[in-house]
Structure 1
Amino acid sequence: MPLHAFDAALSNPAPRPDLTGLRRGVAEFVFFGIKEARACLFAVVIFAAMVLVPREGVLGLPRYDVLLLVAVLAQWAMLATGLETRDELKAITLFHVVGFALEAFKVSPAIGSWSYPDPAYTKVLGVPLFSGFMYAAVGSYVIQAWRLLDVRVRHHPPYWLATLVAVLIYANFFTHHFIGDYRWYIAAAALGVYARTTVSFRPLDRERRMPMLLAFVLIGFFIWLAENFSTLMGVWAYPDQLGAWSTVHVGKWSSWSLLVVMTFTIVAHLKHIKERIHVPD
């Protein structure tokens, strides 16, 4: 089945009034899982490449360069097949920019938060260029899930306020090395800003709702799991993982959840997504 036809079948299932109780709960859970997996298509390609590409590279091409080639081809395929629009690509490109700037700062000798141990032709300031696609994968997931789950947002904060919180989140990733870590103050601000915000979605044929903050935390958790997988594969390493691999500190979960807030704020400025976001007067 062509992917567009598969997406159409997922997005427009026939009404199932016969499903009740536990049977409905199971059916909605299964459909939700399938839609979530489909929304992660770009991320799945990237992580599959991490597993399949040997650490020594392919045909003399270093691993990071092969991963970059895979990511570029995957991004091109998403655009060429219409799975992503040009406007969505602009937002995803912004993720590349903010991601690379953060990476270059974090891997610099003065900071050394983590490192990319393998050589590559496409390393700039110690950062392999494929790393930007990992940030883009988060944005791609949000965009794809928005469409597949027919997402709508109620009581979204004013865009200027949401943008201010997103800027503070991003700035803290840099400034906490010099003036202290204020993530919990910023998290408290985000809690207040998004306290009334709910997200509605359709796992199957009925609308369900959940607090937007819970969505941010859940997505952050799964990104934290993906980060554990990536470090296990040796794609990058934290200082305490250089001798032997260990679980990424659970505190990173909060960082990723805040990054999801920032990611959603960028995506929320897309015209076709704004149409499904309610901002109270």
Structure 2
Amino acid sequence: MKRVPADQTRFARIRLVLEQAAVAPGWRGLLFECLMFGFKQGWACLFGALILALLLGTHFFYPASAPLHRYDFLTLCALAIQIGMIAFRLETWREVAVIGIFHVVGTVMELFKTAAGSWVYPEASLLHIGAVPLFSGFMYAAVGSYIARVWRIFDFRFSGYPPRWTSFVLAIAIYINFFAHHWLPDVRLALFAITALLFGRCQIWFRPLHRHRAMPLLLGWFLVALFIWFAENIATFANAWNYPDQAAGWRMVSPMKMAAWYLLMIISFVLVSLVSPIRRPPLSYRDPTSYDASATLR
């Protein structure tokens, strides 16, 4: 039996058994494949789901008289979750290293954006840098964890992927614009155009069950950005942070924020690509026996 270096868990083995199950063609097979897609997506976003559950749970139930600030409690819990992800081999050490970069990249941006008044953290904390509580870095890490895990679990392959150096240059330009647009013209429309030019033909191939399916990578990024926006609404409702228009009371985050999350998704994707291979689709992707089904556990 092949050694499994990551996701060596009971749930991962259950997933492998389900993936190898014989499914009759027709609507039953399609339904089972859709259920597997949802199961694997949920398993991939475990880190983020736990963080959201903590935000909501502490918002409703954390005692105001507790000797430990809520934000500090969230930081310690997020750290425990990260340790657990490593201890239970849900993430590889290379993935953890990239997630560490997410912490740094996210925290630097948080320091700048809070100083510029883009958003605020309304509660007190001891574990913070400037006006930024340390748990905020783990929210960026949750995005990185999801991308790294979903890449492996769905055995991502790519067709029409541009030269990798172009994606690195694009990600750097996007990150610089997050800061520079406060003094210089906002070039995000140009960045969207360049993104479409580079990745317009790129297809992402993912394996929910026995065979790879394909969708435009640009669409995949949009769907993830949409769900991050949903999560952001939950987080701001839980008073994790507030935008200026939420100072007088919670209101839905503007859908325009999805544009920022879309650009951040590109940065996140490029960072994860440092440790996750950009592989082509199987030569015979219509044949479910043309590749090793256990590959998604690696």
TM-score (norm 1): 0.92
Residue in structure 1 matched with residue 171 of structure 2 by the alignment: 166
CA distance, structure 2, for counterparts of residue 229 and residue 128 of structure 1:
18
TM-score (norm 2): 0.87
Residues 7 and 148 in structure 1, CA contact (< 8 A), matched pair in contact too: no
CA distance, structure 2, for counterparts of residue 57 and residue 175 of structure 1:
39
1:182 partner letter: V
CA distance, structure 2, for counterparts of residue 173 and residue 98 of structure 1:
11
Counterparts in 2 of 1:205 and 1:172: CA distance versus 1, 3 Å: same
The counterpart of 1:30, out of the listed 35, 40, 43, is 35
Residue in structure 1 matched with residue 81 of structure 2 by the alignment: 74
Q: Do structure 1's residue 50 and structure 2's residue 55 form an aligned pair?
A: yes
CA distance, structure 2, for counterparts of residue 150 and residue 41 of structure 1:
18
Residue in structure 2 matched with residue 214 of structure 1 by the alignment: 219
The counterpart of 2:234, out of the listed 215, 229, 237, is 229
Residue in structure 2 matched with residue 276 of structure 1 by the alignment: 279
Q: How much does 1:233 deviate?
A: 0.8
Residue in structure 2 matched with residue 200 of structure 1 by the alignment: 205
Q: Do structure 1's residue 141 and structure 2's residue 146 form an aligned pair?
A: yes
Residue in structure 2 matched with residue 94 of structure 1 by the alignment: 101
Counterparts in 2 of 1:207 and 1:134: CA distance versus 1, 3 Å: same
CA distance, structure 2, for counterparts of residue 167 and residue 57 of structure 1:
42
2:261 partner letter: W
Q: How much does 1:123 deviate?
A: 1.8
Residue in structure 1 matched with residue 272 of structure 2 by the alignment: 267
Residues 11 and 149 in structure 1, CA contact (< 8 A), matched pair in contact too: no
Residues 16 and 205 in structure 1, CA contact (< 8 A), matched pair in contact too: no
Q: Secondary structure at the match of 1:87?
A: helix
Deviation sequence 1:59-107 (CA, Å, 0-9, x none) = 3101110000011000001111211111111100000000000000000
The counterpart of 2:24, out of the listed 9, 18, 21, is 18
Taking the TM superposition and a 5 Å limit, the aligned residue runs for 1:114-125 are: 114-125=119-130
* Matched pairs, number: 272
CA distance, structure 1, for counterparts of residue 39 and residue 64 of structure 2:
32
Q: How much does 1:30 deviate?
A: 1.2
Taking the TM superposition and a 5 Å limit, the aligned residue runs for 1:182-197 are: 182-197=187-202
Residues 91 and 267 in structure 1, CA contact (< 8 A), matched pair in contact too: yes
Contiguous gaps of at least 5 residues in structure 2: 1-6, 282-298
1:19 partner letter: P
CA distance, structure 2, for counterparts of residue 77 and residue 135 of structure 1:
17
CA distance, structure 2, for counterparts of residue 9 and residue 104 of structure 1:
42
CA distance, structure 2, for counterparts of residue 33 and residue 239 of structure 1:
35
Identity percentage of aligned residues:
39
Greater relative contact order (Cα 8 A, min sep 6): structure 1 or 2? 2
